[in-house]
Amino acid sequence: FSGYKLIGSHSGVKLCRWTKSMLRGRGGCYKHTFYGIESHRCMEATPSLACANKCVFCWRHHTNPVGTEWRWKMDQPEVILQEAIEKHQNMIKEFKGVSGVKPARLEEALAVKHCALSLVGEPIMYPHINRFVRLLHQHGISTFLVTNAQFPEEIRRLEPVTQLYVSVDASTKESLRRIDRPLFKDFWQRFLDSLKALAEKQQRTVYRLTLVKAWNVDELKAYADLISLGKPDFIEVKGVTYCGESSASSLTMANVPWHGEVVSFVQELARLLPEYGIACEHEHSNCLLMAHSKFQVDGEWRTWIDYSRFQELVREYEQSGGSRTFTAAEYMARTPPWALFGARERGFDPLDVRFQRKNKARDISGC
């Protein structure tokens, strides 16, 4: 299993390369640029290694189990979380004294502040996902949950998370079949129903579009239609990352769009979507962020998250038994100038120093 530590019978945790990068002051991931997460304090985990898709660009090369329903011995959320944090902290401790690692950041990193539920598999398949999310919040940890848009009912039942992502890897039935290689026969209906379920959410929602050159880039109009269906707050557009040759996938470097091509695609898409604007850019990840105009307040983008405010709101929601609901507008924060699209920094935090590798071999994993 590509570098991740197994927990119990169906969960896992991994140290993301951006966590390591930020420990050394070499910059955070695009979630740092777009939403203000601290990459060195982020834990990448999943309560379900299984998935209902076999996407062509999956960096896990399909070593994880696939399935359309839950069929594992069930571990309890408390046990999973405790083990995830312990294993995460142990991986962080291994960086003590490593050259370039900043002691202050290492100290901070031991206190997990964010959880990216996007390591592998389909976290929403875990039957106790709501209890698991609630536990994370009780520990003061924000939740970024990614789902593959094949479980509409589970999306409907999901309690508030800090930010809910759906992967929108293609815009037509045919290309979704080719790219995601879903296991469900009724995958297209499930996909559309999942997007509709997303539209009902009051907290922050995101479409993740992965651009695969020669596979899904020519479908702009269809993408625009899908966006009007799910009405996401944000649209992340990222060029596919080439993960090396594997029998599981026929992708090559020729399928990786240049950053300039991703920018052009986003500019074209923005023309079709008058309610959205291009807010941020993370050139290092070949990734851009479009945001709904409601996140532009007094001419300023507010794509960042007020994490302590979110924790207050979710606590009130819990204590009121779910009657005190809240919306994305209640926990947004101003985006710093360096993170904005068109800034000289191209999304690289000026507090850190960009590191250029001599050799080309690099770890491409990470969400």
138 has a pLDDT exceeding 50: yes
Highest average pLDDT, of 181-185, 251-255, 349-353, comes from 181-185
Per-residue pLDDT tens over the stretch 195-227: 999 999 999 999 998 877 544 456 788 899 999
271 has a pLDDT exceeding 70: yes
> Residue 2: which pLDDT band, with cuts at 50, 70 and 90?
low
User: Average pLDDT in the 244-260 region?
Assistant: 60
Round to whole Å and give the CA distance between 278 and 332.
Answer: 17
Q: Which CATH number fits domain 4-59+69-339: 3.40.50.150, 3.40.1260.10, 3.20.20.70, 3.30.420.40?
A: 3.20.20.70
Percent of the chain with pLDDT over 90: 61
pTM score over 0.85: yes
